[in-house]
Structure 1
Amino acid sequence: MQTADTVIEPIAAATGAPTWSEAEWAVRKDLAAAYRLMAHLGLDDSIYTHISVRVPGRHDQFLINPYGMLFRDVTASSLVKVGVDGLLVEPSDYDVNPAGFTIHSALHMARHDATCIVHTHTVGGVAVSSMACGLQPCNQWALQFYHRVAYHDFEGIALNHEERERLVRDMGTEHKALILRNHGLLTIGATVAEAFINMLNLERACRVQVAIQSAGQITQVVPTDVCELTARQYEEGASNRLPGAADPHAREWRAMKQRLQPGSTVPYDA
């Protein structure tokens, strides 16, 4: 029987690539699935934006996409392992997007509950991030983030490592969603599933808001007590776990991965 410390050898290991623990291989597969799902749902931005996950058992290393590879082509074994010092931990034919490193390293270092971080540039997300009003409590998806989303002002492309302090300050210690003004969206989670589902709901909330405003309609006001109730219902619902499941979002995550049917390209878990 395999244990958490069992070292497995994925296909790539036969060619001399690194081998990983069972725990790391599991998060690699989940992270690769998240990249493929982002592409499948049209939430990617060419080779830009990023999803990262902390290496199990480490607080100074995380996995991120190879800079220059389309999300649709990311695999578990192609992910790049980088330290919070910016140096690659294992050899790779790819490097890491510098802006992605700035953003993700900041939050991985400061928020130990940020096992996974998702950052997007979508039309809906960038549109709402560019609105002075920010995210409005105008639909059920948005109410998940009622008084639970932070904002960070645009400082240009995130190449200045000094910006990390302000990212951490603006994110705070409790929020799991951040709207990067004039830039895009960011969510965190204790698992890939949680961070991904948080992003999916935040993206939907933004799309609905843009649709309402584009139609020139007046938003139906939701009473503040109902807004807070709904936000708490989301939080309480996250604790309704499948029997034996460590991840409260396992049910939806398992369903989402069913979209990734085998095709002509290399499977995400290779």
Structure 2
Amino acid sequence: MAPIAIDPEPVAAAPAHPLKAAAAPKQDLSKLAANPLARTYRGNKAGTIHMEGIPEFADPLEKREWVKVQLAAAFQYWGKLGYGEGLSGHITCRDPVWPDHYWMNPIGVHFSSVKVSNLCLVTPEGYVHDTIGAQLAINHAGFIIHSAIHKARPEVQAIGHCHSLHGKAWSVFGRPIDILTQDACLYYDNLAVYKNFGGIVLAPEEGKNIAEALGPKSMAAILQNHGLLTLGSTIGECAYYFSNLDRLCKVQLMVEAAAASGIKKVVIDDEDAAFTAATLQNPHNVYANARVELDLIIEERGHILLK
């Protein structure tokens, strides 16, 4: 029998545009309130209920008193979190009356014992003011670090640094935290690393080096083999940046330990991190987070703070 030609099975033509996996839906900032703080709460239908942001003061003397209470409360908060480490640790805040002066804690006083009456006013030359504020010694390293940053970043009002447990543990790696959680987005494109340990800070050069590492916009830094440092347009902002970063260093250490056993970690992608940071990093939002803690301290310990 003669062979019979058999046509091959027809092959379906490939679609002109292959189907792609659907991308996860993204949120759009343009559809949200222009005021980042207003994105975080809901009031009544009439629009008369609001969450307050950073307060404004017409009188610099009145603001000075508010700054001192906030500063004392921030130290009490740090004491509550167990950040005390002997003579180490300091927060400074520019004086509203004389912006080239700043308020600071005295050296050798536990954070939980700092109150309005033992805060020191520091002159531009780095000395305790002769007549205004407590007549107590201040931390020399604190002056060197903070004065250099205040000079380099004139828009910054408050600077904080201490040797918190998880912050200094993570600092030994000399690398930033990963953006692993929603609250970590506070540090997205907002966290510097000072990759050097020049010994205990006793000379001006180290203060300048830290200021340069921070650059023109970062509000937080990891100081390798040392600890954390944070900035703020208010004391509350500075204090919250610090406490949140210390907790995130703990999270990072826990995640790294789990990942070492083979569990995969997932980092938030840049687009989602940037979207979230656009709200979280607003100074009014950071202050509002801090206010929850500082108001509680004032409620609990106002009788001590105001002495």
Pick the TM interval, shorter chain.
0.7 to 0.9
The aligned runs of 1:191-210 (5 Å cut-off) are 191-210=234-253
Question: Structure 1 residue aligned with 2:197, among 154, 164, 168?
Answer: 154
Change (3 A) 1:130 1:108: same
Aligned to 2:257: 214
Aligned to 1:82: 122
Is the 2:64–2:97 contact (alpha carbons within 8 Å) kept by the matching residues of 1? no
The aligned runs of 1:94-243 (5 Å cut-off) are 94-152=136-194, 153-215=196-258, 216=260, 217-235=263-281, 238=282
The structure with the largest alpha-carbon Rg is: 2
Alpha-carbon distance in 2 for matches of 1:203, 1:51:
16
Q: CA deviation at 1:266?
A: 5.7
| Equivalent AA in structure 1 for residue 276 of structure 2 | T
User: Which stretch shows the higher mean deviation, 145-154 or 24-33?
Assistant: 145-154
Alpha-carbon distance in 1 for matches of 2:65, 2:166:
33
Is residue 2:296 matched to residue 1:253? no
Gap regions ≥5 residues in structure 1: 6-20, 240-246
Is the 2:174–2:222 contact (alpha carbons within 8 Å) kept by the matching residues of 1? no
| Equivalent AA in structure 2 for residue 213 of structure 1 | E
Is the 2:174–2:225 contact (alpha carbons within 8 Å) kept by the matching residues of 1? no
Aligned to 2:40: none
Alpha-carbon distance in 2 for matches of 1:54, 1:27:
9
Q: CA deviation at 1:102?
A: 0.7
Aligned to 1:267: 304
Superimposed CA distance per residue, residues 193-218 of structure 1 (whole angstroms, 9 cap, x where no aligned partner)? 11112112211211110111233343
Superimposed CA distance per residue, residues 91-143 of structure 1 (whole angstroms, 9 cap, x where no aligned partner)? 54421111111111111122112101111211211122111443222222222
TM-score when normalising by structure 1: 0.82
Superimposed CA distance per residue, residues 219-246 of structure 1 (whole angstroms, 9 cap, x where no aligned partner)? 22322322222222323xx36xxxxxxx
User: Which stretch shows the higher mean deviation, 159-168 or 182-191?
Assistant: 159-168
User: Which stretch shows the higher mean deviation, 80-89 or 211-220?
Assistant: 211-220
User: Which stretch shows the higher mean deviation, 144-153 or 25-34?
Assistant: 144-153
Alpha-carbon distance in 2 for matches of 1:258, 1:55:
21
Percentage identity across aligned positions? 30
Q: CA deviation at 1:248?
A: 4.7
In angstroms, what is the RMSD of aligned CA positions? 2.2
Alpha-carbon distance in 2 for matches of 1:213, 1:86:
41
Q: CA deviation at 1:253?
A: 3.4
Is the 1:82–1:89 contact (alpha carbons within 8 Å) kept by the matching residues of 2? yes
Report how many residues are paired: 244
Q: CA deviation at 1:262?
A: 4.0
Gap regions ≥5 residues in structure 2: 1-56
Secondary structure at the counterpart of residue 56 of structure 1: coil
Is the 1:120–1:185 contact (alpha carbons within 8 Å) kept by the matching residues of 2? yes
User: Which stretch shows the higher mean deviation, 107-116 or 27-36?
Assistant: 107-116
